[in-house]
Amino acid sequence: MKKICGLLEDYLMENLDEKNRKLFESHLDECESCRKSVEAFSKIEQSLNSIPKVSVPEGFSASVMEKIYERKEKVLGWYVYGIVAFLSFAVSVVAVYLLGFDYVAAKVYSVASTVYAFASSFSVALSTLSGSLYNSIDFGGLNGVVLTFVFVMICFGFAKSVKIFTREVK
């Protein structure tokens, strides 16, 4: 009898072969202790099987796919940057080879000077404009606060525009 009671754990773990399983099941009619244990475990199993399943929101798979496309676009973007960088480098090498270093360097210097001149004039225009605006409006004691606010708003606008222009499009 005791020997058969020792099969309880294996019975509950479904480890018994057909013969021992039948033997143990017929033993359950005689042994109250084993029967109570089996019943208690069976109740726990039933309760575990009744744990409710949560449902998945309607758009779940759509948002997964959206994330996948975003990721793909991002990877594609890096490929494009890589290709552009490589082509620029290749064109530079070819240009230096065909036209000579001095000629290319002079051209690069000339382009850089033009860009610098444009940036300087733009900066002067901007500071003149902002200076005129600043002087024409009397903010009184609020000047500092207002300017700080305007500066923050400009930064915010800039950050937003960067976000919009760099957003991956599906």
Partner 1 sequence: MCDELKVIERVLNGDTDAFGILVKRYEKQIVNYVFRMIGNYQDALELSQEVFLKAYLALKSYKSEYSFSTWLYKIARNRTIDFIRKKKLNTVSIEGKGDEDGLKPQYEDSGLRPDEVYEKKRRAVLVEKAVAKLPEEYREVIIMYHVDGLKYEEISDILGLPIGTVKNRIFRARKMLKDMLEGEV
- Contact residues: partner 1, CB under 8 A: 9, 12-15, 40-41, 43-45, 47-57, 60-65, 67-69, 71-72
Smallest distance from partner 1 to CB 6, Å: 15
Smallest distance from partner 1 to CB 37, Å: 9
Smallest distance from partner 1 to CB 41, Å: 6
CA distance 141 to 145: 8
Inter-residue contact 69 to 170 (CB < 8 Å):
yes
Which is closer to partner 1, CB of 67 or CB of 167? 67
Smallest distance from partner 1 to CB 56, Å: 5
| Element at 138 (helix H, strand E) | none
- Which amino acid does the sequence have at 49? N
Buried b (16+ CB within 10 A) or exposed e, 121-160: eeeeeeeeeeeeeeeeeeeeeeeeeeeeeeeeeeeeeeee
Burial class (CB in 10 A: 0-12, 13-18, 19+), 11: buried
Sequence-ordered list of residues with C-beta below 8 angstroms from that of 63, at least 6 positions apart, any chain: none
Which is closer to partner 1, CB of 62 or CB of 126? 62
Smallest distance from partner 1 to CB 169, Å: 15
Residue 8's CB is within 10 A of a number of other CB atoms, namely 18
Which is closer to partner 1, CB of 63 or CB of 114? 63
Which is closer to partner 1, CB of 44 or CB of 108? 44
Which is closer to partner 1, CB of 73 or CB of 95? 73
